[in-house]
Amino acid sequence: MNRINQLFINKPGNILSVYFTAGHPEIGSAPQIIKELANSGADMIEIGMPFSDPMADGPIIQNSSALALKNGMSLRLLFQQLKNIRSEVNLPLLLMGYLNPVLQFGMEKFCDACAETGIDGVILPDMPLQIYEEEYSMYFRQKELANIFLISPQTSLERIHHIDNAGNGFIYMVSSSSTTGMKDHFSAAQTAYFKRVSNMNLKNPLIVGFGISSHEHFTTVCQFTSGAIIGSAFVKMLAESKDLEHDISMFISNIRGE
């Protein structure tokens, strides 16, 4: 069974998924960050594939992608860096990024490399649902890779059901129709959105991302969904850190309120 599915069976709530950009803050940081997150109590890890035109990302993740590319990060190098990661980490690992670099790498080749590396799922926000179903779903199924789709407050009920049927692993609930980045609090409209989708009783678990940066945010979304994704706040911390082991541990503890 895919590690993502196993996670949600073993732990149906309070799941903390953490995003960082591969190649940031240093070209070889990814394996250490993954190991420190696993040791510090993260439940799932999303490894960002840097891209030169990250449309859905705010300035913090945009800057991390720009620095990672300047450092020389590429998909080929990332797979090389992660080739032995499964000997040390058993958490679900996902790759998140944009379709263009994956198509340049080759979709079938990409899925093969994910399987060989031990990647459990992929999040490509700009991959059209119809294109996935018609052209690429066979590669994901063959390698037992979860394909994660995003929804937003504006996503229709019909499309949410379509996504629930087409995707697997979990549904990524974008908290608002904006780019990634830290926010102060959730509005009444946002919490109503969390409740509304939660009450649809979808087959896939729900995880909320975009704007999660504190223990308060984490506990709020966990009232309605299976958990939360933290990206910009963690990437910002990495850029400022002088001691990754200590700072990653403290960051996770603070989000969990421990």
Pairwise CA distance, residues 160 & 183, whole Å = 25
Tell me whether residue 57 is one of the annotated catalytic residues: yes
16 within 8 A of 227, measured Cβ to Cβ: yes
Helix (H, G, I), strand (E, B) or coil at 200: coil
Contacts of the segment 127-136: beta carbons below 8 A, 24+ positions apart: 127/99, 129/159, 129/162, 129/163, 129/166, 132/166, 133/166, 135/107, 136/107
Quick one: pLDDT band at residue 179, thresholds 50, 70, 90? very low
**pLDDT one-digit tens code per residue, 186-231:** 788 888 999 999 999 999 999 999 889 899 999 999 999 999 999 9
| Active-site hit among 36, 57, 120, 164 | 57
pTM: 0.94
pLDDT of 180 strictly over 60: no
Averaged pLDDT, 17-45:
97
- pLDDT computed for residue 183 by the predictor: 52
pLDDT of 54 strictly over 80: no
**pLDDT one-digit tens code per residue, 76-126:** 999 999 999 999 999 999 999 999 999 999 999 999 999 999 999 999 999
CATH no. for residue 30?
3.20.20.70
pLDDT of 17 strictly over 90: yes
Q: Where do the H-state alpha helices sit in 82-204? A: 99-105, 107-117, 129-131, 137-142, 157-166, 188-198
Pairwise CA distance, residues 248 & 172, whole Å = 23
- pLDDT computed for residue 51 by the predictor: 84
Alpha carbon 176 to chain centroid distance? 16
Q: Which of 3-12, 110-119, 149-158, 169-178 has the lowest mean pLDDT?
A: 169-178
Tell me whether residue 108 is one of the annotated catalytic residues: no
Quick one: pLDDT band at residue 182, thresholds 50, 70, 90? very low
Query: Which residues are CB-contacts of 240 (< 8 A; sequence separation ≥ 6)?
Result: none
Query: Which residues are CB-contacts of 186 (< 8 A; sequence separation ≥ 6)?
Result: 175, 211, 217, 220, 221
Sign of CA dihedral 100, 118, 113, 149: negative
Mean pLDDT of the chain: 92
Helix (H, G, I), strand (E, B) or coil at 209: strand
Range of the domain at 137: 3-9+15-256
Q: Which of 19-28, 59-68, 113-122, 165-174 has the lowest mean pLDDT?
A: 59-68
Pairwise CA distance, residues 231 & 60, whole Å = 9
- pLDDT computed for residue 175 by the predictor: 87
Query: For the CA atoms of 5, 18, 14, 175, what is the dihedral angle to 10 degrees?
Result: -100
Number of domains in the chain: 1
| Active-site hit among 46, 112, 120, 216 | 46
